[in-house]
Amino acid sequence: MRTFLFPSVALAAAVLAFPVLPAWAGPDRVPPLTDALTRAECGTCHMAFQPALLPARSWERMMDTLSDHFGDDASLPPDKVAHIRAVLVAGAGRDRRAPDATPQRITEARWFTHEHDFAPSRWQKPGVVTKSNCAACHRGAEQGVYDDD
């Protein structure tokens, strides 16, 4: 029986550590994105970003404008849009530094520019290509782990 106790204690601790609405000042870890459809549809052109990286307003606007997604057509059928929208909104974050902003880029969100306020030359690290290539610097990015730079 004891062997079953330990995982549940660990799980309870994990739930306590990650509140539903992370107050952003840059947590070390954001809940991983587990929804299979969102991972598949939003992970083909770039990493499937975790919902907590943007506020709900941002995701709502993004899901309304998928036919012009940063110059790409990322349109999906309405049922998929509804499903993914619900996943993103349910896990959305809250940027304590800019509570009313609706950034479309994670890399332009206030918490991001605050956490990444370092010399421009650091973005020239080989393999980075764009700031949104989180995994180039954060090996655990796919799992929501960002404290290992």
Does position 130 bind ligand HEC by CB under 6 A? Answer: yes
Asked if 131 and 71 touch (Cβ cutoff 8 Å), the reply is: no
Answer for which of 110, 133, 140, 145 binds ligand HEC (CB under 6 A) is 133
Does position 138 bind ligand HEC by CB under 6 A? Answer: yes
Q: Minimum CB separation from ligand HEC for residue 118, in Å?
A: 6
Q: Minimum CB separation from ligand HEC for residue 14, in Å?
A: 17
Distance CA 149, CA 135 (A): 10
Q: Is 83 left (phi over 0), alpha (psi -120 to 50) or beta?
A: alpha
Nearer to ligand HEC (CB atom), residue 11 or residue 65: 65
Does position 42 bind ligand HEC by CB under 6 A? Answer: yes
Phi, psi of 78 (to 5 degrees): -55, -40
Return the amino acid letter for 48. Answer: A
Nearer to ligand HEC (CB atom), residue 14 or residue 147: 147
Alpha helix segments (H runs only) across the chain: 2-17, 36-41, 56-64, 78-90, 110-115
Binding interface with ligand HEC (CB under 6 A): 26, 28, 41-42, 44-46, 49, 53, 62, 66, 69-70, 72, 74, 84, 105-107, 115-116, 122-123, 125, 128, 130-134, 136-138, 146-147, 149
